[in-house]
């Protein structure tokens, strides 16, 4: 219900509403920044506790059962304390031991923070973490991910790049722990890391090339397409219709930076009309993305067709301040060698990915996935 005060003129009341909107935004932004700061402090605390526990327990200072006793005494000293069970303290030790090679160098704390530090033996709990091995953006994402997520990632992964992959997913797509567990069990990293594209040869700018490689996957799960059996053959027009009908779910699977521009997008070249199955705009890449849907196995002729569409898009639709258009062929299956040959002499950036159609996920996995509407609200917030 809108509250109207008769003591204000219409223009003044309009200005007041703008002020309320601005203040509301500032409050929400402040809460978000505070939450990020708190999470960073928690991770820093857990890392340094893990270091202290690691040093004492691994060097033979303590006997069996010491961590269990520490946990019990801590909860006795601080009634209601949560997050410091025996398992949790051991997870802090793992957190330190798995990341210590990355966070080997620490900045000295500033003088105005020294009063808040408290030493334990040879160590100081609450030291700022910094590293040259992570970019500023990666470091920011690291500290935006909760400890429960870090714990699951460390349990199921073994390489630096794999861990960064899941950290980025959690930070940018707001994954809940259940979604993360599902992705880890499905080994999403291996499914997405191998891409068949010509980006390395046709995109000269390094930053744009890296972003393009990160924007596309090797396989997409379209579980909103209703099929009795995943092996059923689906007509390309039927697939396109179901994607357009469920465009929000498609974009959720495709990536949050994609904006849908239309299907069967018409391009008039001379006296002939060309039709792009699906056309998107990618905000991060600042370019048009043409998607061609194929019901069967990849064929070399598809690359020539897509190359023509991309050339026409660049001449007829692309704006001067936008990057060259990118194409993606989505097919049921592909031969990597055939794709390599088809792309060898192409000049426009394009890739090939497969899709998986399934009407029903196993119950334990379907329950792990967040509701798309809830996730959309999180993204909006």
List, for residues 43-100, the tens digit of each pLDDT value.
988 998 998 888 888 877 787 889 899 999 998 888 888 888 999 999 999 999 999 8
The pLDDT score that the predictor gives to residue 7 is 67
* Euclidean distance between CA atoms 102 and 133, whole angstroms: 6
- Model confidence, pTM: 0.50
The pair phi, psi for residue 179, each rounded to 5°, is -65, -40
Higher pLDDT, residue 316 or 75:
316
Does residue 2 register a pLDDT over 80? no
* Euclidean distance between CA atoms 104 and 96, whole angstroms: 10
The pLDDT tens digits of the residues spanning 324-379 come to 999 999 998 888 889 989 998 888 999 999 888 754 444 444 444 445 455 455 44
As a CATH number, domain 194-380 is 3.40.1350.10
For the segment 132-159, the average pLDDT, to the nearest whole number, is 86
Indicate the domain borders of the chain: 11-190, 194-380
The pLDDT score that the predictor gives to residue 257 is 84
The pLDDT score that the predictor gives to residue 137 is 77
The pair phi, psi for residue 166, each rounded to 5°, is -70, -35
The pLDDT tens digits of the residues spanning 97-143 come to 999 888 765 443 333 223 333 343 444 444 455 444 577 778 888 99
Give the strand pairing for 350-357 and 219-222: parallel
Does residue 194 register a pLDDT over 70? no
Handedness of CA 360, 364, 370, 373 (dihedral sign): positive
The pLDDT tens digits of the residues spanning 211-234 come to 888 788 888 877 777 654 444 556
Mean of pLDDT over the chain: 79
């Amino acid at each position: 219900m809108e509250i109207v005060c008769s003591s204000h003129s219409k223009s003044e009341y309009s200005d007041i509403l703008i002020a309320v909107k601005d203040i509301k935004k500032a409050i929400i932004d402040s809460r978000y920044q505070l939450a990020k700061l708190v999470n960073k402090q928690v991770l820093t605390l857990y890392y340094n506790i893990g270091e202290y526990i690691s040093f004492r327990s691994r060097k033979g200072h303590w006997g069996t059962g010491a961590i269990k006793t520490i946990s019990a005494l801590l909860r006795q000293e601080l009634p209601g304390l949560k997050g410091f069970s025996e398992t949790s303290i051991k997870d802090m030790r793992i957190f330190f031991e798995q990341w210590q090679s990355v966070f080997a160098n620490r900045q000295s704390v500033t003088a105005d923070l020294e009063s808040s530090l408290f030493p334990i033996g040879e160590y100081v709990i609450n030291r700022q973490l910094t590293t040259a091995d992570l970019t500023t953006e990666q470091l920011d994402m690291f500290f935006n991910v909760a400890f429960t997520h870090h714990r699951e990632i460390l349990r199921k992964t073994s390489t630096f790049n794999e861990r960064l992959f899941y950290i980025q997913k959690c930070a940018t797509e707001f994954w809940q722990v259940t979604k993360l567990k599902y992705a880890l069990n499905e080994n999403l990293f291996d499914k997405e890391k191998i891409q068949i594209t010509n980006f390395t040869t046709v995109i000269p700018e390094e930053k744009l090339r890296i972003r393009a490689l990160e924007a596309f996957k090797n396989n997409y799960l379209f579980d909103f397409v209703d099929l009795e059996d995943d092996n059923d053959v689906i007509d390309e027009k039927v697939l396109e219709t179901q994607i357009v009908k469920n465009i929000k779910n498609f974009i959720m699977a495709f990536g949050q930076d994609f904006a849908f521009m239309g299907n069967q997008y018409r391009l008039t070249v001379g006296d002939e009309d060309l039709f792009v199955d699906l056309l998107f705009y990618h905000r991060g890449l600042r370019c048009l993305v043409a998607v061609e849907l194929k019901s069967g196995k990849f064929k070399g002729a598809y690359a020539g067709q897509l190359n023509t569409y991309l050339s026409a898009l660049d001449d007829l639709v692309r704006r001067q301040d936008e990057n060259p258009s990118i194409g993606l062929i989505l097919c049921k299956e592909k031969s990597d060698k055939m794709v390599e040959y088809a792309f060898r002499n192409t000049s426009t950036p394009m890739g090939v990915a497969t899709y998986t159609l399934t009407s029903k996920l196993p119950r334990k996995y379907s329950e792990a996935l967040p509701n798309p509407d809830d996730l959309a609200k999180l993204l909006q917030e």
